[in-house]
Amino acid sequence: MAKIFKSPSKYIQGSNILKTHLDEIEIYGNSPLIVTDPFVWDMLGKELCANLKKDGLVPVLAEFEGETSVEQINKIQETNKRVDFVIALGGGKAIDTGKAVANDLRLPVVVIPTAASTDAPTSAISVTYDAEGFFQAYHYYNKNPELVFVDTEVLVKAPVRMLKSGIADGLATFVEVEAVANSYGQTLAGGTQTIAAYAIAKACEETLFANARQAVISNEIQAVTPAFEAVVEANTLLSGLGFESGGLAAAHALQNSFSSIEGPIQRMTHGEKVAFTTIVQLVLQGDSKERIHSFVELYQTLGLPTTLKELGLEEVSDQTLLSICERTVEGEDTLKQMPMSITAQSLLAAIKVADALVKNER
């Protein structure tokens, strides 16, 4: 199998670049389709639209209702065929929807995240959900975004919970990439790992362990600092390139399965679920107590969930968890990229052990 590395054509990050580098967006055409939700539209979209109009562009607003579903993607692309390019503005769901619409219309896409909560901006992948918000499928595209445009002055005003969620998602990157390397597995780019993808994923983990705590403080006081800039880049660029061209494994497969459980867990973000499932993967692969402790300690410092209770799964029975594990093992998700054979029983055992390890440390 060939080695494949994928990335956006251009990545720009900096403070106030939506005011100083708007020309980088405007080169893609005269009529952009802005895919965003009502909250982000009021917060940032109106101002962006007004600035684009001042420069002679004719932006069109998509009717995005806040959920990434096949039905909504089809609706947007069917009613907006006379545009030149797509601007995906907002969080992970707006970004994934914008990428999907651009793919269907065969148009360039500019991604402008409003929080450093996800590694979705750089990839040629979208995740769709059903009407209840449960994970449905990954969708793969032939090209990555033409431009990822990250204004840290916007991101530093986002809720701190979003940054913490992105840190948790980013910390899973090298754990999963290393597992895929050990299994000589396939990545989401459609081939095997490059040296570059492995190195980028490792740099992501190192950057987050070194800067996460200070970046969160910066976010709390809304001050763009070198640590905040570093974590934004790790959450967005390093994690994005790492997961797509380095691969996903057990942590994200189990997170996707957890998304199908009704109850308090539905109030958890993607990254908050990934924090716990990363501990589960570390247990599954027999990592050292010291390595597991380093992750748990950072998660707890940031207030991320590290137990079943904190994840909202305390009242879920072992039988229900076993059913979730069976679905994970039998599904076509990324669990199969792990370098060992995993059964539903061994996955359930890892979940229970991860929970007990953390409780015993307290």
Whether the pLDDT of residue 57 is over 90: the answer is yes
Kindly report whether the global pTM for this prediction surpasses the value 0.85. Answer: yes
**DSSP class of 193:** P
pLDDT one-digit tens code per residue, 32-50: 999 999 999 999 999 999 9
CATH number, domain at 72? 3.40.50.1970
CA–CA separation, 76 vs 318, rounded Å?
A: 42
pLDDT tens figures, 92-129: 999 999 999 999 999 999 999 999 999 999 999 998 87
Chosen domain end from 111, 129, 155: 155
312 - beta bridge partners? none
pLDDT of residue 42: 95
Question: What does DSSP say about strands 109-113 and 85-90: parallel, antiparallel, or unpaired?
Answer: parallel
Indicate which CATH number applies to the domain containing 356. Answer: 1.20.1090.10
Looking at residues 304-316, what average pLDDT do you find?
Answer: 95
DSSP 8-state secondary structure symbol assigned to residue 60: E
Predicted pLDDT at 67: 78
d(CA 68, CA 93): 5
Per-residue pLDDT at 69: 87
Angle at 335 between CA 332 and CA 336, to 5 degrees: 70
Same domain, 17 and 144: yes
Residue 132 has pLDDT above 70, yes or no: no
Average pLDDT over residues 295-301: 98
List, in order, residues 6 or more apart from 103 with CB less than 8 Å away: 109, 139, 141, 142, 143
Listed residue (308, 246, 321, 317) closest to 272, CA to CA: 308
Of the candidates 269, 58, 54, the residue with the CA atom closest to the CA atom of residue 160 = 269
Asked whether residue 112 is domain-assigned, the answer is yes
Q: Which domain holds residue 90?
A: 11-155
Q: What does the pLDDT read at residue 269? A: 95
Whether pLDDT at 135 is above 80: no
Is residue 122 a contact partner of residue 236, using CB atoms and an 8 Å limit?
Answer: yes
User: Which of 129, 155, 181 corresponds to the end of one domain?
Assistant: 155
71 Cβ contact list (under 8 Å, min separation 6): none
Summarize pLDDT for 214-273 with one digit per residue, the tens: 999 999 999 999 999 999 999 999 999 999 999 999 999 999 999 888 899 999 999 999
Does 267 reside within a domain?
Answer: yes
Structure-model confidence comparison of residues 275 and 78, the more confident one: 275
Pair 147, 20 in one domain: yes
Q: Report how many domains make up the chain.
A: 2
Percent residues over pLDDT 90 in the chain: 88
Q: Where are the alpha helices (DSSP H) in 80-159?
A: 92-105, 152-155
Q: Is residue 68 part of a domain?
A: yes
Distance from C-alpha of 119 to C-alpha of 243, rounded to nearest angstrom: 8
145 and 280 co-located in one domain: no
- Phi, psi (deg, nearest 5) at residue 142: -75, -20
The reported pLDDT for the residue numbered 146 is: 98
Q: Are residues 23 and 149 in the same domain?
A: yes
Three-state secondary-structure class, residue 34: strand
pLDDT band at residue 78 using 50, 70 and 90 as cut-offs: confident
In a domain, 208, yes or no: no
- Computed over every residue of the chain, the mean pLDDT equals 95
Rounded to a whole number of angstroms, the CA Rg of the chain reads 20
Residue 195 maps to a domain: no
Listed in sequence order, the DSSP H helices in the chain are 17-20, 23-26, 38-40, 46-54, 70-79, 92-105, 152-155, 160-183, 195-220, 226-233, 239-246, 250-258, 270-284, 289-302, 308-311, 318-330, 344-361
pLDDT in tens, 174-225: 999 999 999 999 999 999 999 999 999 999 999 999 999 999 999 999 999 9
**What is the pLDDT, as a whole number, of residue 362?**
66
Look up residue 121 and give its DSSP letter: G
- Select from 78, 278, 315 the least CA-distant residue to 177: 278
> Could you give the residue ranges of the DSSP H alpha helices within 138-191?
152-155, 160-183
CA 96 to chain CA centroid, nearest Å: 10
Q: Identify how many contiguous H helices and E strands the chain contains and give both numbers.
A: 17, 8
- Is 103 contained in some domain? yes
List Cβ neighbours of 230 (8 Å cut-off, separation of 6 or more): 207, 210, 211, 215
331 lies in some domain: yes
Same domain, 134 and 261: no
**Given this model, what pLDDT does residue 164 score?**
98
136 in any annotated domain: yes
